[in-house]
């Protein structure tokens, strides 16, 4: 049985990340993806550049781009795909998460159904 990838990048996201990381001039820099409580749907995604590796990190090498995911977040985003979207509403990275049973239109907040009673109205005020 093949284990499902923790997270993957679309070609557009991969190219954009490589460009951004190359401008930082820090070979230890990686993309950290994390999940925290909050947001208009109960949970929210976060992404940041990080050059620190933690003991509980899952490290994914995706075509020369390292992605860090802490142990808590892995269960919420396993199988997710990171994309880069450039639209009239703005440009940025977005997460396509198969674990989300409900997402807000802002694309940063989601609910896995485990705590559906705590989700709030979609205000996307973060």
Q: CA 39, CA 23: separation in Å to the nearest integer?
A: 31
pLDDT of residue 31 exceeding 80: yes
Inter-residue contact 49 to 24 (CB < 8 Å): yes
Residue 123's pLDDT is 44
Q: CA 35, CA 88: separation in Å to the nearest integer?
A: 26
Instruction: Mention every residue, 6+ apart, whose C-beta is less than 8 A from residue 28.
Output: 51
Q: What is the CATH number of domain 7-112?
A: 2.60.300.12
Confidence of residue 117 (pLDDT cuts 50, 70, 90): very low
Instruction: Mention every residue, 6+ apart, whose C-beta is less than 8 A from residue 51.
Output: 26, 28, 29, 30
- Could you read off the pLDDT of 79-112 as tens digits, one per residue? 999 999 887 777 888 888 887 664 554 444 444 5
pLDDT of residue 17 exceeding 90: yes
Name the one residue in this structure whose structure tokens are 């990340």.
17
Confidence of residue 67 (pLDDT cuts 50, 70, 90): very high
């Amino acid at each position: 049985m093949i284990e499902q990838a923790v997270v993957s990048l679309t070609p557009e996201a991969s190219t954009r990340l490589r460009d951004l990381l190359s401008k930082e001039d820090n070979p230890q820099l990686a993309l950290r993806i994390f999940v925290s409580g909050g947001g208009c749907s109960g949970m929210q995604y976060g992404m940041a550049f990080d050059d620190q590796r933690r003991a509980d990190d899952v490290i994914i090498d995706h075509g020369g781009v390292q992605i860090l995911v802490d142990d808590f977040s892995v269960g919420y985003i396993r199988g997710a795909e990171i994309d880069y979207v450039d639209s009239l509403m703005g440009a940025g990275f977005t997460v396509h998460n198969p674990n989300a049973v409900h997402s807000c239109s802002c694309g940063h907040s989601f609910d896995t159904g485990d705590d559906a009673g705590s989700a709030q109205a979609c205000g996307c005020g973060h």
